[in-house]
Amino acid sequence: MLKPLPLLAILLTMGAPALAQPAKVIEARQANFKAMGRAMKAMGDEFRGGSPDIAVFRTNAATLNRLAPDLPKWFPAGSGTGAKTEAKADIWSKPGDFAKAAANFAAAANALNTAAAGTDIAAVGAALRATGGTCKACHDQFREEKK
Ligand code: HEC
């Protein structure tokens, strides 16, 4: 004979898992953002150097393009509190806007990766600026800098 109550309890637990370690989630996503920051800086530095090396763009654009599609997953419900996070509550109260900001970035990173596969440095520069614009757009709306 099936006992409905324990089964229901199990289903409820499965449907709404509590975030066990928000601090770990926050740390992991900040590490990913730091890697993105390093990638952007490495590419920006190439343009300041005089003779940009396409290989540097290929490597770093690939990093951004690899991380970008996963970005929304770095913000599970319950990971918005804690002294160290700069994530604004709007991420969870305006999920559509946040998803759009993430998608804009992913599209820009993809276009940058495509440009970096070619040899047109000017096109890479334009794609890099566009990508930087999508970082800033999301930060303006969803990140509160504390440090
Ligand atoms: C869709 C939104 C979004 C996009 C796009 C985005 N960021 Fe962020 N970024 C955030 C949020 C939110 C935080 C704060 C995370 C936290 O503290 O928990 C953050 C934090 C950071 C940090 C600080 C990490 C730390 O704590 O040391 C850096 C650096 C960063 N982002 C760089 C970038 C770069 C570079 C890009 C683009 C290539 C980018 N971000 C794109 C939302 C975004």
Angle CA 140–142–143, to nearest 5 = 75
pLDDT, residue 8, reads 55
Average pLDDT for the chain: 91
CATH of the domain at 58: 1.20.120.10
Ligand 1 atom at minimum distance from 64 CA: 38
Task: Summarize pLDDT for 75-111 with one digit per residue, the tens.
Answer: 999 999 887 999 999 999 999 999 999 999 999 999 9
Residue 6 lies in a domain: no
- Mean pLDDT score, 115-121: 97
Residue-wise pLDDT for 120-130, tens only, equals 999 999 999 99
Question: Who lines ligand 1 at CB under 6 A?
Answer: 26, 29-30, 33-34, 36-37, 40, 64, 71, 85-87, 98, 101-102, 105, 131, 134-135, 138-139, 142-143
Tell me the pTM: 0.89
Q: Helix or strand or coil: residue 20?
A: coil
Q: Within a domain: residue 63?
A: yes
Residue 2 belongs to a domain: no
Query: The domain containing residue 116 runs over which residues?
Result: 21-142
Number of structural domains in the chain: 1
The 3-class secondary structure across 60-85, one letter per residue, is: HHHHHHHHHHHHHHHCCCCCCCCCCC
Is residue 147 in some structural domain?
Answer: no
